[in-house]
Chain A
Amino acid sequence: MSECLHAGTLILIALPPVAFVIAVIVFYFATAEED
């Protein structure tokens, strides 16, 4: 049996790091600078 990586699997793998990095950039700009 020779399986190949499906396009859906590749998207599933690539999505979380992209999503979390975008989310932390949003967090960086959206939060106030004051202490």
Chain B
Amino acid sequence: MDIGLLMAFLVYLIVLIGVGIITYRMMHTHDDYYLAGRRLNPWVTALSAEASSESGWLLLGLPGQAFSMGVGAFWVAFGCLAGTFFNWTAVAGRLRKITGFFRAITIPDYLESRFDDRSHTLRVVAALLIGVFMTSYVAAQLVASGKALSVTFGIDYVPAVLVGSAVILFYTMMGGFFAVAWTDVVQAVMMIIGLVVIPVVGTIKLGGPGAVVARLAECAGDTSGFMSMRVGREGIALATFIIGMLGIGLGYPGQPHVLVRFMAIKRPSLIRKGALIGIIWAAIALYGAVLVGLLARGILSGDVGDPERVLPLMAMELLPSWIAGIMIAAAMAAIMSTADSQLLVASSSFVQDFYHKTFGRKPSQSTLVLLSRLVTLGIGVLGMVIALRQDPENPVGVVFWLVLYAWGGLASAFGPVIVLSLYWKRVTRAGALAGMLSGAATVIVWESIPVLKEFLYVLIPGVVVSSIAVIVVSLLTTPPPGPALTGDAAAGDAKAAGVDAGQ
């Protein structure tokens, strides 16, 4: 085991534990635990939203895809960039205003208040969908972190999962949203450094941009379409490929662990600055990740094995071991920053949405915080148990089956409902319920039919069906009494009532 690599990695883990201890003192209430008391600055909000939304996929999956597919992987980067742009400019500001007005701290909270649903149906359905998808998602991140640690340091899979899980659980339990948001900042900075340093050093090593293009063309050899955005496809195959790749970006407005970041910013007006930071970060990171994969084709010799290992392999090939250690820690950072946010959202759906609101318990703030910590621990341990049951040599298991659905399922269940409810006053409670259920159901059905699954990425039909369901059912049911609150209305009403919607 390389000492430089190990030391860099240990320093990173110690920093995370330190953040957990410091933020423990910043947290007094239940609002603090789940939403940092709505007092995040735009830098923290932006970097936390970006680090949480991108996960280990950005540092491991996307470079792997570029390595296998070629420049066609840029289509995914375009789709993700468009999704990020839409989220920041069209969703974030309105969501912050209206959830501030309703004092909503979770997405089910928001849906119940927005549709004045006293039956708690929307809350229960939304919380169940979040609970199931997020717990599985957390488990999958823990599997990924276990694999990354065991490959890098040559330790067994089981202790690797235990170390990764213990660190994430420690700081998330201790500091709640504060800890998660601040560790996300550290992690976002590490990710962006990794995704800039590796492509720059790789390009220099190959002799500059011109030499890179020539070298890639030479290495691509007979690989069909490696250097073309058409990736060797024509006609309908090309069209469905492009729509599917761009369509990944449609998933952004439906991810509760990202949306709660927008809800936590100090004032709605700060979203403008957050958008600027977040989109520039995403543009650099997404392009950096594709470039890492492309350059790996020209730099790594011999059989690479699993393409998703190209970023750690490139770091070890191009950089001194202690810097490579930091770059590999950045890949772990990407996994951890998503797992911690998902852990918190899953915990909030049990504590806030079931215990506190649905069953109407009114415990003290300190009891709620304690309960939130215990539920976070419970979900983390459950995720860890699922992760430990996976065979690291054969990752195709129940967790990966569920992860396949998680991004598409959350996107289809929540995306159209959230966006339409922010802009269209006519959306009804029944419309929102129909949208959530039909979106989730479409994803499950589409994914289980191989012909459909191969034809088009599940998220597109899921979002289309859910949008149609929200619109049609809303038009067929009785409109809500009085003017329903959308983002602008919330701000207006809040001012009229002398309430500061920004707090």
Contacts and interface: CB of A to CB of B under 8 A. Distances in A.
Interface of A: 1-6, 9, 12-13, 16-17, 20-21, 23-25, 27-28, 31-35
- Chain B contact surface mostly: helix
Contacts of B226: 3
B367 interface: no
Contacts of B37: none
Given A35-B491, A35-B501, 4 more contacts: A3-B217, A3-B228, A24-B280, A27-B272
Interface in B216-256: 217-218, 220-222, 225-229
B74 A13 contact: yes
B269 A35 contact: yes
Of A16, A28, A32, A34, most B-chain CB atoms within 10 Å:
A16
B283 A13 contact: no
A18 to B, nearest CB: 9
Contacts of B279: 20-21, 24
Interface of B: 71, 74, 77-78, 81-82, 85, 88-89, 93, 97, 213-214, 217-218, 220-222, 225-229, 267-269, 272-273, 275-276, 279-280, 283, 287, 491, 500-502
Contacts of A32: 269
Contact of B229 (A1, A12, A20): A12
Given A4-B217, A5-B213, A20-B279, A13 B71 contact: yes
A23 B81 CA distance: 12
27 contacts: A1-B221, A2-B217, A3-B225, A3-B227, A3-B228, A5-B217, A9-B228, A12-B74, A13-B71, A16-B82, A20-B82, A21-B280, A23-B85, A23-B89, A24-B85, A24-B88, A24-B89, A24-B279, A27-B272, A28-B276, A32-B269, A34-B269, A35-B268, A35-B269, A35-B491, A35-B500, A35-B501
Nearest to B77: A16
A23 to B, nearest CB: 7
A27 B500 CA distance: 24
B81 A20 contact: yes
B287 A17 contact: yes
B360 to A, nearest CB: 32
A18 B501 CA distance: 34
A20 B222 contact: no
Nearest to A2: B217
Contact of A28 (B71, B228, B272, B287): B272
Contacts of B228: 3, 6, 9
A33 B502 CA distance: 12
B46 to A, nearest CB: 11
B272 A9 contact: no
Nearest to A13: B74
Contacts of B502: 35
A2 B217 CA distance: 6
B220 A3 contact: yes
Contacts of A25: 276
A34 B270 CA distance: 9
Of A3, A25, A31, A32, most B-chain CB atoms within 10 Å:
A3
Given A24-B85, A33-B269, A35-B267, A13 B275 contact: no
